[in-house]
Amino acid sequence: MTKWQYTTAQFITRGLGDESGAQEVEGALNQLGADGWELVSSSVYHNEEAGLDVLLMFFKRPVA
């Protein structure tokens, strides 16, 4: 039976149409992929205090 390890990553954005941080997100995702992490779910929520949206991603990889 495969055992899994999990991690999360969060990125702050001004909205889904905001391309200003796209390269940062892409670089981080490429690094997570190179480290063996697989994206399994993502969600966006609005942080009322900051007035910004947060992209929350969940990853898994097999335990070595």
Residue 33 φ then ψ, to 5°: -65, -40
- How many domains does the chain contain in total? 1
Beta bridge partners of 54: 12, 45
Alpha helices in the chain (DSSP H): 22-34
**How confident is the model over 1-57, as pLDDT tens digits?**
999 999 999 988 766 566 767 788 889 999 999 999 999 999 999 889 888 888 899
Inter-residue contact 8 to 61 (CB < 8 Å): no
- Whether the model clears a pTM of 0.85, i.e. scores above it, the answer is no
Q: What is the pLDDT of residue 16?
A: 59
Within 8 A by CB and 6+ apart from 20, the residues are: 14
Which range marks the domain in which residue 46 is found? 4-62
